[in-house]
Each structure stands twice: as C-alpha cells, then as structure tokens.
A and B are shown apart, each in its own frame.
Chain A
Amino acid sequence: MLYLELLLQGIVQGSIYALIALGLTLVYGLLRILHVAHAALFTLGAYLGVIVTNATGSLVLATAVSMVVTGVVGMAVYKLAYEPLLGKPPFIALIASIAMFIASEEIFRIIFGPYGLSYTNPPLQGYYEIFGGFYLKYGEMLVIGLSIVMLSILGWLSGNTRLGVSWRATVTDPSMARAFGINIQNVRYLNFFIGSALAAAAGVLVALLNNLVEPTMGSVASYKALAIIVLGGLGSIRGTLVAAMAIGIIESFGTIYLGHILGRDALAFAFLILVLMVRPQGLLGAK
C-alpha cells in the first residue's frame, strides 16, 4: 500500500512538473531559448492565486484571473525581452532570462515582503480514504485532475483547430509555415500565453498544497523544469510529459529510500546525466 501511495505522490509531483515544464518546451520548440524566467511566471501565478482568493473567497475565479494575467505577462516578456535577442547566440538569451528571474525574486520580496503569503482560509484541506488505508488528499486530487483536463484541452486544440495546426506547423518548420501564410508572430504570442498560463495554474496548485507562496518559490522550478525538458528531449511535448512523471516518481521513492545517500535534487540530476550518457538526445528526442 505504501508503494502505491508513493507512486501516487510521484504522479502528483510529476503533474506539477509537467504543467511548469510544458511552457518551457513550447518556448524552446519555437525559439530555442532556455526560458529560466518561466519560473518567475509560476511564482507570479501563485501570488495572484492567493491574493485573489483572499480578496474574493473564490478559488475558481482566482485561478482564472491568475492564468489570464500571467499569460499576458508572459507575452510581454517575449515582446520586451526575447524578441530583440532572437538573432543572438543562445547563451545571451539564457543569461538575460536568468537575470530576469533573479530580479523577479527581489521584486516579489520588495512588494510582498520576505515572509511570503498564505491563504487566510486554506481551501480543500482534507482527504478521502478510498479503501483500506489508501488516502487521497483533496488538493492532490485537484492537481492530478486539473493537469489531465488542461493537457487534454491543449492536445485537442493542437490537433483539431486551425490555431493548433498552424502552431504545430510553425514548430516543425517556421519558413514553410510562413510560406503557407501563417502569422508566426501571433503563434509566438499564443505560445507564451499558453505556457505562462499553465505555469500560473501550477503556481496556484502548489500554493494550495503548501499554503505558502514566497519570493523564492520559483528557484526549484527554474532549474528542475530545465532538467525535465532536456531529459524529455528538448522540444518534444510527449518527452516532457514522460520526463516530468519520471522525475516526480523517482523523487518520491528516492526521498524515502535513498534520501540518506543523495538528496532529491541530486537524485534527479544523477538520473538526467545517466540518461543523457546513454541517449544524448534525451528520452524522446529526435537524433
């Protein structure tokens, strides 16, 4: 039973990683930028979620507001920071992105204080006991459920709508897509909007599980999500989902059974290095 519970915990963590890493994959697929500042949008989403919930009492409204606002901020980040750097060597954008991330942590601290914020009435605290000693917390169920719903919607959109098709065409072959009359600029905006909104959703969910948002809450996401998209094979959406789950599950079991040998982060990166030495293109990357 314990193994099952640990597996479930791994899936919960994996779902959160997936929501965060997906935005990074989208950006990488389109622009070849390692978008570290994505984690700042995750933090922003979490702050907005807590602030709006505390003001209105509605978690649903807060999630919606947080996703939309963060999505728009994500578009602004593209316009103001990345667009001018597109022709430059990739590490320029990487350092610029890291600088934005560091600045964001300081801005959150200066505006909202170093102690962080919490829900005044934390929603969804409690659990179901399904059968003999198998427990599911409300918050965790919401994490898994919402991740499945959002990823399914995204999958459906990309397969069945004009927008989705033009998006996939742009990722596969930008010049060909342009030749077919697709407005690449719009696709990029959409890309940043969706990726940032998903990160915001992850932020709201994490805030719910921890009942705490802090200026530095994005620091783990900033590097762990990079590891996940590389593990998945940079730019591969399916690879990212598989890698997110793999890291989530490895961390879950590792925390309990290997914690005295290697910490959670080190474990995740040991796995990453191991995989890359065998498959340099990542789990599902194209050679």
Chain B
Amino acid sequence: MAYEITLITSMAISVLFALSLNFITGFCGQISLGHAAFMGVGAYTTAAMMKAGVPFIATIPVAAVLAGCLGVLVGIASLRVRHDFLAITTMGVVFLFVGIVRQQDFLGGEIGISGIQASSFGRIGFMAFCLLLAAAFAVFSLVIKRSWMGFVFDSIADNEDVSRVLGIDVSKYKLIAFVVGTAAAGVAGSLYAQQFRFVGPDSFGFVESVSVLAMVIVGGIGSVWGVAVAAAGLSVMPLMIQFVDDYKILVYSALLFSMMRWAPDGLAGIVNRSVKRIRRRS
C-alpha cells in the first residue's frame, strides 16, 4: 500500500500546487514562469523549522505567510510589467530564488536540508491531510470563481484597460490573486518537504515552474476541475510510463505539444465540446 499512498499523496500535492497557479494565471490572467519559487519558500520554511524542532503543523501557516510575502513583492512587480514582460520577470524570480538559496548556509547551501522528521500523522493520515487541503483549495477556488471577485478576475484577465475604465481597482485584485496563489503554493511546498523529507535548491527551479504551468494549461486554463485532473495525471505520468523507458520524456513532451496543437483549450475544452456535441445529438 505504501506505494499507492505515496503516489496519491504526490498527486494531491501537485493538485494543490497547480490550483495555486491557476488562481493567478487562470483566474486573473497573470502568467507566471516562476511559480516553483513560492513552493520552494514553503518547502524550505517547513524543512528549516522542523529541523529546529517545530512540529509540522505549526510550520504550515509560516510557510504560507512567507510565500505570500514574496508573492506580494512579485505582485507589485506585476503592476509594473505586463504580459510577456511579466512572464520573463517571474522567470527571473525563480532563478534569483534558486541563486540565493544556493549561497545560504542556514538552508544547507548546495547540500539542502535532509533528515526532516516524519509528522505525527502517519503515512495514511498525511495522505488524507494532503487530499483534504487540495480539496479545500479546489472548493475555495470554485466559490471564488462564481463570486463577484471571480467576475472581476475574469474581466482583468480579459482586458485590463477596459476593467480599469469600468472602475475596477485592478491593482488591488491582482495583488489579491498573487497573495492567495503564492500562499497556497507555500502550503504545497510545506507538504512537499514533509513528503520527500529532503529539499535541495535543484527541486524548485525553472523546470518545475514550467511543468506546473503545463499542468494548468493542459487542464484548461481557469478550469478548476480540468487543472486538478491534469495535475494529478501529469504528476505521476513519468512513473506510469516507465515501460516506454528511454522515450519517457519524449512521450511526455510529444503529448504536451499535441495538446497545444490540437486542443489548446485543454482537458476542460475537450470535455465541454464533447458535452455540447452529445447534447446537440440528443
């Protein structure tokens, strides 16, 4: 069972992580190529605090707050730069994060932090906890999406300038999206540190940032269900396709490309279209 438990836990963490980016990119239209930095902040916070003897549960809020604080900074930057400039700025953030962490002795430098204690949950308890958090954030996302705030996000994603003319405080809502999304990524990082009990600077770089963005886009940008399914699937895909062996990453990238080429609106788009087709027939 331990293997399945590990897989499900990993999936839950990925779902939370991808939904946290979906909040920023999917809802509010702010593209980020550096989201792994916030997960890294959370993971390092939990790792360092647990090494200092703080119980796991107590580290989670701290991880969320610290990641959220960095999120505010990046959010403020997002008020200055837009679109592709923002994408590359956020990419810069993740390189800067990794570059800084590498040089910090109290974070283990290149060696990272290992030997993180297990939480008091036990394996199954921890899996349940991760599932619970991922589900809670999914529900929260759905509620926000259907609320007034969701409409505002939509309008900002659609056209920032028009929203401003309509009297929407664009800056405020962008910052909200960044704070919520990055704090949730920080929580996902906490869970990551507990799941793998090892954090190192290479685990939260550009590649991780791109793969989480891929999860959001494959799921169908903005769709909570689509992103959750895509995150769950893509996170365990390398393990599931071990049989293609040497061609594992090639298969993954070919699938990703095909998705963009033939179904750019993601899983959510595919489902919506099929549902419509079935309805039309009946």
What is the minimal beta-carbon distance from A216 to any residue of chain B, in angstroms?
11
- A103 interface neighbour in B98, B217, B250, Cβ under 8 Å: B250
Decide: B217 and A91 in contact? CB cutoff 8 A: yes
Decide: A106 and B214 in contact? CB cutoff 8 A: no
Report chain B residues within 8 Å CB of A280.
80-82, 85
The segment from B88-96, B113-121, B171-179, B181-189 found at the interface with A is B88-96
The segment from B7-15, B125-133, B223-231, B251-259 found at the interface with A is B251-259
Which A-B residue pairs are the 7 nearest by beta carbons? Answer: A266-B99, A269-B92, A96-B260, A99-B257, A103-B253, A99-B256, A102-B253
Q: How many residues of A sit at the interface, in one of the four size bands?
A: 35 or more
Report chain B residues within 8 Å CB of A100.
253, 257
Decide: B96 and A34 in contact? CB cutoff 8 A: no
What is the minimal beta-carbon distance from A86 to any residue of chain B, in angstroms?
12
> CA–CA, A95 to B25, complex, Å?
14
Q: Which of B233-272 contact A (CB under 8 A)?
A: 246-247, 249-250, 252-254, 256-257, 260-261, 264
What is the minimal beta-carbon distance from A228 to any residue of chain B, in angstroms?
10
Report chain B residues within 8 Å CB of A277.
77, 80
Decide: B249 and A106 in contact? CB cutoff 8 A: yes
Query: Quick check: is B41 within 8 A (CB to CB) of the other chain?
Result: no
Query: Quick check: is B102 within 8 A (CB to CB) of the other chain?
Result: yes
Decide: B95 and A269 in contact? CB cutoff 8 A: yes
What is the minimal beta-carbon distance from B169 to any residue of chain A, in angstroms?
20
Query: Quick check: is B213 within 8 A (CB to CB) of the other chain?
Result: yes
Query: Quick check: is B103 within 8 A (CB to CB) of the other chain?
Result: yes
Chain B interface residue count, Cβ-Cβ cutoff 8 angstroms: 39
**A interface residue numbers (CB < 8 A to B):** 28, 32, 34, 81, 84-85, 88-96, 98-100, 102-103, 105-107, 110, 223, 226-227, 230, 234, 260-263, 265-270, 272-273, 276-277, 280-282
What is the minimal beta-carbon distance from A68 to any residue of chain B, in angstroms?
26
Decide: A234 and B85 in contact? CB cutoff 8 A: yes
**B interface residue numbers (CB < 8 A to A):** 31, 77, 80-85, 87-89, 91-93, 95-96, 98-100, 102-103, 206, 210, 213-214, 217, 221, 246-247, 249-250, 252-254, 256-257, 260-261, 264
What is the minimal beta-carbon distance from A274 to any residue of chain B, in angstroms?
10
A91-B221, A95-B214 given; name 11 further pairs at CB < 8 Å: A84-B261, A93-B260, A96-B261, A98-B210, A99-B257, A100-B253, A262-B103, A266-B100, A270-B96, A276-B80, A281-B85
Decide: B96 and A110 in contact? CB cutoff 8 A: no
Decide: B103 and A261 in contact? CB cutoff 8 A: yes
Report chain B residues within 8 Å CB of A276.
77, 80-81, 85, 89
Report chain A residues within 8 Å CB of B214.
95, 98-99
Known: A96-B257, A103-B254, A106-B250. A90 touches B84 (CB 8 A): yes
> CA–CA, A230 to B86, complex, Å?
10
What is the minimal beta-carbon distance from A76 to any residue of chain B, in angstroms?
14
- B96 interface neighbour in A81, A223, A273, Cβ under 8 Å: A273
Of B31, B77, B82, B88, the most chain A CB neighbours within 10 A belong to B88
Decide: B84 and A262 in contact? CB cutoff 8 A: no
Report chain A residues within 8 Å CB of B246.
110
- B253 interface neighbour in A106, A265, A281, Cβ under 8 Å: A106
> CA–CA, A272 to B94, complex, Å?
13
> CA–CA, A188 to B263, complex, Å?
25
> CA–CA, A164 to B198, complex, Å?
55
> CA–CA, A6 to B120, complex, Å?
55
Report chain B residues within 8 Å CB of A234.
84-85
Query: Can you list 16 A-B contacts with CB-CB less than 8 angstroms, sorted by A residue number?
Result: A89-B221, A94-B87, A95-B213, A95-B214, A96-B257, A99-B257, A99-B260, A103-B249, A103-B254, A223-B206, A227-B91, A230-B85, A262-B99, A267-B99, A280-B81, A280-B85
> CA–CA, A70 to B257, complex, Å?
21
Decide: B261 and A110 in contact? CB cutoff 8 A: no
Decide: B102 and A263 in contact? CB cutoff 8 A: yes
Report chain A residues within 8 Å CB of B252.
102
> CA–CA, A34 to B86, complex, Å?
12
> CA–CA, A76 to B252, complex, Å?
22
> CA–CA, A268 to B77, complex, Å?
17
Report chain A residues within 8 Å CB of B250.
103, 106-107, 110
> CA–CA, A277 to B93, complex, Å?
13
What is the minimal beta-carbon distance from B213 to any residue of chain A, in angstroms?
7
What is the minimal beta-carbon distance from B132 to any residue of chain A, in angstroms?
30
Known: A100-B253, A226-B91. A273 touches B77 (CB 8 A): yes
Closest residue of B by beta carbon distance from A82:
B261
Decide: B81 and A266 in contact? CB cutoff 8 A: no
Report chain A residues within 8 Å CB of B95.
223, 265-266, 268-269
- B87 interface neighbour in A34, A84, A105, A260, Cβ under 8 Å: A34
Decide: B256 and A272 in contact? CB cutoff 8 A: no
Decide: B247 and A106 in contact? CB cutoff 8 A: yes
Decide: B260 and A92 in contact? CB cutoff 8 A: yes
